[in-house]
Amino acid sequence: MLKQIDNPDDPQLAEVHTLLAETLADPNTVLGLDRLREFLAVNRPGAARQFYVLVSTGATEKIVGATVFSYVVASNCGFSEYIVTSRDVRGSGVGRQLVDGRAALLDTAAREHGLGKTCRGIFIEVDNPDRTPADLLAQERETALDARERWRIFDHLGFRRLDLAYVQPPLGDGKTAVDYMDLMFLAWDEAAHHAGRIPAAWILDTLQVIWSSWAPRTWVRPHAILKTQLGTAEVALLPLFG
């Protein structure tokens, strides 16, 4: 069963954070529980970003999967911070249920903001199998999925890798930047899907809102570097394999 957590004091939010910490090998990629609560607390009409926590619960109400994501009004795009499932439910359809539930909420947000029937698409950061440190790859084979298997799943869902050099800024005090991930995009916008390209503005507008909330003291420089790299051109959506 799917459940949206929208109260920052909901005790199940701690369960979500525990699942993230147990699944993701690099603590630099995990937002603290305090940040999850902070982001839910500032959700309000007219905000530049709407923050969501959607969970799947089993028969005992225990959380067996979760997706944490945002809707960015300026770009009419989503950004998936996380999607994780417990090891014992993988392959059971929980992940697909979360993916579909996330898409429905993003489309609803687009309509509520008068930006059309659907969200343009969703961004996600994914470990690159060739650049991720070997110790993290080995650890995530135990706690999550093999990195190449994860790519195969995202390829099946329709995600494409953006043709840019991506570096995630530090997510908080005591955390460091992460340079081994690729930024991917799943285009729901028909024109972008068929063209295999998206405007640079969709990327920059989305990341400005996401990064400034993650790293309010350090986001400006990496965003400026990315803006210089992209210019005003469109950015290609590359196949994940081949």
Q: How many CB atoms lie within 10 A of CB 202?
A: 24
The total number of residues written for the chain in this structure: 242
pTM (global) more than 0.85? yes
pLDDT category of residue 206 using cuts at 50, 70 and 90: very high
Task: Pick the more confident residue, 231 or 196.
Answer: 196
- Look-up of token digits 């998206």: 198
Nearest Cα neighbor of 35 from 65, 12, 63, 14 is 14
pLDDT category of residue 46 using cuts at 50, 70 and 90: confident
pLDDT of residue 233: 86
Q: Does pLDDT of 226 surpass 90? A: yes
- Where helices occur in 87-238 by DSSP H, the ranges are 94-112, 134-143, 147-157, 190-195, 200-214, 220-230
pLDDT in tens, 150-190: 999 999 999 999 999 999 998 888 889 999 999 999 999 99
Domain that residue 173 falls in? 2-238
Q: Could you tell me which residues come within 8 angstroms of residue 51 by beta carbon, excluding any fewer than 6 positions away?
A: 39, 40, 42, 43, 68, 69, 70
pLDDT in tens, 109-143: 999 999 999 999 999 999 999 999 999 999 888 88
- CATH of residue 32: 3.40.630.30
Task: Pick the more confident residue, 45 or 132.
Answer: 132
pLDDT of residue 27: 92
pLDDT of residue 68: 98
pLDDT of residue 81: 96
Instruction: State the total domains in the chain.
Output: 1
pLDDT of residue 40: 96
56 and 97 Cβ atoms separated by less than 8 Å: yes
Q: Does pLDDT of 2 surpass 80? A: yes
pLDDT in tens, 49-104: 999 999 999 777 889 899 999 999 999 999 999 999 888 877 778 889 999 999 99
Phi, psi dihedral angles at 72 (to 5 degrees): -110, 120
Q: Does pLDDT of 208 surpass 80? A: yes
